[in-house]
């Protein structure tokens, strides 16, 4: 199954936010509570509850960040 290119920003936001939420929540949970028997369940719950906010944020902020990067960088 292929997704039409017009949905690229949404797919980008979904994938980036999923990866970031998974990595950051695992890191924070491991550093604050350590690896324990309920780690995976707690990590999953953290990811599921945090991802919607991260997705919305990335989807809204990514175009703004691209514009800022375009203004502060020089093309050869």
pLDDT tens digits along 6-16: 999 899 999 99
Could you tell me which residues come within 8 angstroms of residue 21 by beta carbon, excluding any fewer than 6 positions away?
47, 50, 51, 54
User: According to the model, what pLDDT value does residue 5 have?
Assistant: 95
Total number of domains in the chain: 1
- From the list 60, 32, 62, the residue with the least C-alpha distance to 24 is 32
13 located within any domain: no
Query: Is 33:42 a contact under the CB 8 Å cutoff?
Result: yes
27 located within any domain: yes
62 located within any domain: yes
Query: Is 29:45 a contact under the CB 8 Å cutoff?
Result: no
Q: Quick one: tokens of 70?
A: 């375009």
User: According to the model, what pLDDT value does residue 1 have?
Assistant: 84
Domain extent at residue 59: 19-70
52 located within any domain: yes
User: According to the model, what pLDDT value does residue 75 have?
Assistant: 85
For the chain, list residues with pLDDT below 50: none
6 located within any domain: no
4 located within any domain: no
């Amino acid at each position: 199954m292929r997704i039409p290119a017009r949905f690229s920003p949404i797919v980008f936001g979904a994938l980036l936010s999923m990866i970031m939420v998974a990595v950051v929540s695992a890191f924070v949970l491991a550093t604050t509570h350590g690896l324990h028997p309920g780690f995976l369940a707690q990590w999953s719950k953290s990811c599921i509850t945090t991802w919607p906010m991260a997705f919305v944020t990335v989807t809204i902020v990514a175009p703004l960040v691209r514009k800022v990067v375009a203004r502060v960088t020089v093309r050869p």
